[in-house]
Structure 1
Amino acid sequence: MIYARFAAAVDELKNYGGVPSPQESQLIWDDIWHREAHNSTAIEGNTLVLRKVRTLLDENRPVGGKDLKDYMEVLGYAEAARWVYSQARVVNGTAPGSTPLGKLVSVAEIRNVHQLTMQRVWAVAPHPHASPDEQSDAFRRHDIRPFSGGMVPPPWVDVSPQLATWVDTANSNGSAIIAGKLEPSEIPIALAEMHSLFERIHPFIDGNGRTGRLVLNLILVRLGFPPAIIFKSSRNRYLTALDRADKGDLGPLAELLARSVIDNLNRLIVPNIAGPARLVLLKSLATPELSYQALRQAASRGRLDVSYSSDGTVRSSKLAVDAFLDSKYSR
């Protein structure tokens, strides 16, 4: 059962001091950053493939002759995601940002996330129906047509009070989670309910999906979890899960979020707690003294014992890396 696996992951996380900070595991956080910026924008129709997203973000160099709008969407999302990741809780009960314990999010922060996400793309491709009062940090002043599944967002005049209530609920849930009043197995349902309700409020004229996923990740990292990534390949499943959540069934969305968090826990935590012989992602074994590129080169030359999975993922172990270093320095 996925909720039991999530609860077990939470217990493991507590036992080992929480998620390492972006400074402690920069390569893994960068990999999550690339994947989130690619997949979250791709869900909304962005055409850049992951390889081009990496080049754009790492080298600030657009490749591929795509529409400028596509590049600006990724850059804006990536900037917002960097800020979100900077809020990761790295010490039990505290966060590096100014948000107090249990206060996971504010209305001002939601508006800031939306501004970071949308201001670049709207500078080159403004929303065709946005009024001067509907800029990248302002709530919509239009009513939204019913969605295909039948959900009707609230009238625009109700957005501000409903979002304020949503923030109060999110912070209340955060306090309950941090205080241990919510069972770990119940957390995915709470996360799904928060995300679903945010999307139903639909506070902005555009960019609600991207902003909603980033705000969800802001909540996750301030709780001490890694961010969740909804992959482009799961787009239809994700949209169906949101539709079912609108109708009162939170299970599919909660399962999707739980699996994503567990996957990124394995990226961030398992390499730090694995026994010396346990296979982990090769990238997670990189250090400031031994780069990922050096590990890949050693593997390609047969000097580092690695395992290749069917999807091309490369894994190795601390034991294998130690053996490589011993052979390297004994020569």
Structure 2
Amino acid sequence: MFEDIDILKQKLDQHRPLAPSIVKNLQEDLILRWTYHSNAIEGNTLTLLETKVVLEGITVGGKALREHFEAINHRDAIYYVEDIIRKDEPFSEWQIRNIHQLILKNIDDDNAGRYRQQNVLISGATSNPPDYTLLNDKMAQFVDWYNAEANQLHPIERAAKVHADFVGIHPFIDGNGRTSRLLMNLELMKAGYPPCVITVENRLAYYEALDQWMAFGQTEKFVQLVANAVLEGFKPYQVVLGI
């Protein structure tokens, strides 16, 4: 499943380190696409171009303040993920809480970075998240699994499992989807792969594949969906570098 992707990664690695101007250009393109699609999946109504101007500091008339904050916050969370990678920090609950705190900043400060204190349903899902009283244990087990076993998986499979297992726990009252996609891409970027941008147009297939994993333990569709999105993630590099 991953052969073509790994060949592309080898070609990309031959161009590393990339020139700062190329890194900046690719980063701006990625942040815009990733922010737009991740927020749109959750119902944010800003268009791609509206997201672009919001990230440039311009207010879009007729759009809710929350939607502006969602764009700005998501960009800041990407910056934080990039900082984690630069500093080579180990995976931790503290890191996860910090990402979530950035996602909900100025939107729901009371719950930002805090595990939920009530039970919730995932709309449309076949299975329910664990009872809120179990969250501390579930999150500790999640990080323990990561530290003990995650490195045995291919980076794409590992990233997909981090995403799916985190969403299954659903530790926060809101912002779990955005946080899970940031954690997934943290894994991919750590390993030198392009981030996986799940597009809003692919939302239904994404939800269905995730539900199959969480409810029935059927992992193949979601891993393939992530792999396909990573393959798409090489296209900007191919345009800029000619690989």
| TM-score over 0.5 for the pair | yes
Match of 1:231 among 190, 194, 199: 199
- Residues of 2 paired with 1:257 and 1:172: CA distance? 23
Q: Per the alignment, do residues 157 and 118 of structure 1 end up closer, same or farther by CA in structure 2, a change over 3 Å counting? A: same
Match of 1:41 among 39, 64, 70: 39
Equivalent residue number for residue 202 of structure 1 = 170
Equivalent residue number for residue 124 of structure 2 = 148
Match of 2:218 among 249, 274, 286: 249
Whether contact under 8 Å (1:153, 1:202) holds in the other structure is: yes
Flag the structure with higher helix content: 2
Equivalent residue number for residue 101 of structure 2 = 115
For residues 235-274 of structure 1, what are the alpha-carbon distances to aligned partners after superposition, in whole Å with 9 as ceiling and x for unaligned? 1111011011111111121112112222222323663364
Alpha-carbon RMSD: 2.3
- Residues of 2 paired with 1:76 and 1:122: CA distance? 12
Q: Per the alignment, do residues 273 and 63 of structure 1 end up closer, same or farther by CA in structure 2, a change over 3 Å counting? A: same
Gaps of 5+ in 2: none
For residues 209-257 of structure 1, what are the alpha-carbon distances to aligned partners after superposition, in whole Å with 9 as ceiling and x for unaligned? 0111111112222222222111111111110110111111111211121
Output aligned runs, 1:1-331, within 5 Å: 2-17=1-16, 20=18, 24-58=22-56, 60-88=57-85, 96-99=86-89, 103=90, 105-122=91-108, 135-145=111-121, 147-173=123-149, 175-176=151-152, 182=153, 186-246=154-214, 247-268=216-237, 271-272=240-241, 274=243
Whether contact under 8 Å (1:138, 1:204) holds in the other structure is: yes
Whether contact under 8 Å (1:107, 1:164) holds in the other structure is: yes
- Residues of 1 paired with 2:155 and 2:186: CA distance? 15
Whether contact under 8 Å (1:195, 1:213) holds in the other structure is: yes
Gaps of 5+ in 1: 89-95, 124-133, 177-181, 275-331
- Residues of 2 paired with 1:139 and 1:151: CA distance? 19
- What TM-score comes out, normalization by structure 2 length? 0.89
Q: Per the alignment, do residues 271 and 171 of structure 1 end up closer, same or farther by CA in structure 2, a change over 3 Å counting? A: farther
- Residues of 2 paired with 1:25 and 1:16: CA distance? 12
Whether contact under 8 Å (1:191, 1:216) holds in the other structure is: yes
SS at the partner of 2:118? Answer: coil
For residues 92-133 of structure 1, what are the alpha-carbon distances to aligned partners after superposition, in whole Å with 9 as ceiling and x for unaligned? xxxx2151xxx3x2110100000001112226xxxxxxxxxx
For residues 58-107 of structure 1, what are the alpha-carbon distances to aligned partners after superposition, in whole Å with 9 as ceiling and x for unaligned? 2x01123211111111111111112213344xxxxxxx2151xxx3x211
- What TM-score comes out, normalization by structure 1 length? 0.67
- Structure with bigger gyration radius: 1
- The runs of at least 4 aligned residues of structure 1 exceeding 6 Å deviation read none
Whether contact under 8 Å (1:241, 1:252) holds in the other structure is: yes
Structure 1 residue 15: deviation in Å? 4.2
Whether contact under 8 Å (1:84, 1:214) holds in the other structure is: yes
- Residues of 2 paired with 1:141 and 1:22: CA distance? 44
